[in-house]
Amino acid sequence: MEKELQYIFGPVNSSRIGRSLGVDVIPKKICSLDCIYCEVGTTRNLSTQIKPYFKAEGILAEFSSVYHEIKNSIDVITITGSGEPTLNSCLKEILIGIRDIVKDEKNIAILTNTTTLDNKDIYKTLLDFDIVVPSLDAVTKTAFEKINKPAKEININNIINHLIAFSNEYTGKLYLEVLLAKNVNDQKEDIDTLISVIKKINYTRLDIGTITRPPSYSFAKPLTDQELDDIKSYIASNGVSFIKDNTVDDNSNNTVISYHKQSSISNNDNDTDLIIRKLMPLLKMRPTTIDDIIKTLKIDKDVVQEVLTPFIQSGEVTSKEFNGILYYQHKIIKQV
Ligand code: SF4
């Protein structure tokens, strides 16, 4: 059997950034936050330490081999991780290496939780991305600690100040993400303070969403569609635009994708080894439905079930229901 991909996943369809090939630059699960809604599982190493967790060399070698196979079917490269990607001190080297491989053919995006923007090197490296997707779920200390459970040295005001400064200097596309959890960061005072900060951020697009997949903490609950719509209307009525750039499509219904990992490589045959090689990274990244697998791997439902069954029987893959939908995930995703 061919080796499972370690760093590269996708392409994933994103209504905001197009068909995206993902690059995972951080091991599961090292993060400066332990967000209660995280799809990657609970944070095992809650840390702000910046280190060469994965070396650029291995990532670039794997990227190069996959990219040349599928470059005609993707629009964008997305740097992300099973944790916070900016904690990898090789980020700049990885960005330069990927640019060198893709030339000017593709945009390069990064997802970040913004907690490292006070690091001058990371700040400068992020300026060089074509698309930056920062998340900011709460702006008061109390709500921030409830929803994002940060490492103790992280100060929310520091994050806000650096994000505002960055947004005013950055010349690429900045897609600001806010994720709301019921009775955690969705109260009127949370939204009012959030609005006051959002107004100072120079974003291209604002996406407000809620929990859509099994969260790392079972007490984390989504808002209903109506509650989410009401909050979006309230935000808009307070003078906040969701789109500030006419070149950006508004076809995502303002739903936060909130993926830090989504995985698949298009597959047009039913070779079992090949499917497993692509399926396992997907199930290790986040809870995934059968429909997700069918769409991303382009295989029949019967084939998905045939391939999954032995892994379910052995306990390597488990299932979980959330909001009436059945998800499958690898046992390495830890939820509490
Ligand atoms: S959602 Fe992102 S920032 Fe939050 S804990 Fe998960 S990986 Fe870290």
Which among 9, 4, 14, 44 has a CA at the least distance from the CA of 24? Answer: 9
* pLDDT at position 27: 92
Residue, of 15 and 233, whose pLDDT is higher: 233
pLDDT digits (tens, 9 = 90+) for 260-300: 433 344 444 447 777 787 788 778 878 889 988 887 777 88
Q: Are 75 and 178 part of one and the same domain? A: yes
* pLDDT at position 45: 96
Split into its structural domains, the chain has a count of: 2
Q: Is 71 buried (19+), middle (13-18) or exposed (0-12) by CB count in 10 A?
A: middle
Please check whether residue 169 lies inside any domain of the structure. yes
* pLDDT at position 206: 97
Q: What is the percentage of the chain residues whose pLDDT exceeds 90? A: 65
Q: Are 233 and 310 part of one and the same domain? A: no
Q: Is the CB of 38 under 6 A from ligand 1?
A: yes
Q: How far is the CA of 31 from the centre of ligand 1 (A)?
A: 6
pLDDT digits (tens, 9 = 90+) for 48-93: 999 999 999 999 999 999 999 889 989 999 999 889 999 999 999 9
Q: Are 219 and 276 part of one and the same domain? A: no
Q: Are 326 and 221 part of one and the same domain? A: no
| Residue type, position 55, single letter | K
Number of alpha carbons in the 13 Å side-chain half-sphere of residue 238: 16
| Region 138-161 average pLDDT | 98
pLDDT digits (tens, 9 = 90+) for 114-140: 999 999 999 999 999 999 999 999 999
* pLDDT at position 1: 53
Q: How far is the CA of 261 from the centre of ligand 1 (A)?
A: 10
35 and 67 Cβ atoms separated by less than 8 Å: no
Q: Are 180 and 298 part of one and the same domain? A: no
Read off the pLDDT band of 176 (50, 70, 90).
very high
Read off the pLDDT band of 221 (50, 70, 90).
very high
* pLDDT at position 62: 94
Mean per-residue pLDDT over the chain, rounded: 89
Please check whether residue 301 lies inside any domain of the structure. yes
Which of 237, 257, 283 is the last residue in one of the domains? 237
pLDDT surpassing 80 at residue 334: no
* pLDDT at position 265: 41
- How far apart, in whole angstroms, are the C-alpha atoms of residue 264 and residue 271? 15
Please check whether residue 163 lies inside any domain of the structure. yes
Q: How far is the CA of 259 from the centre of ligand 1 (A)?
A: 9
Mutate to test the pocket of ligand 1, among 145, 260, 335 (most ligand atoms within 8 A of CB): 260
Ligand 1 atom closest to Cα of 111?
Answer: 2
Q: Are 202 and 144 part of one and the same domain? A: yes
The pairing of strands 8-14 and 18-24 is antiparallel
Q: Are 283 and 207 part of one and the same domain? A: no
* pLDDT at position 267: 44
The domain containing residue 326 runs over which residues?
A: 272-330
Q: How far is the CA of 269 from the centre of ligand 1 (A)?
A: 34
Ligand 1 atom closest to Cα of 40?
Answer: 6
Mutate to test the pocket of ligand 1, among 113, 114, 261, 286 (most ligand atoms within 8 A of CB): 113
Q: How far is the CA of 243 from the centre of ligand 1 (A)?
A: 24
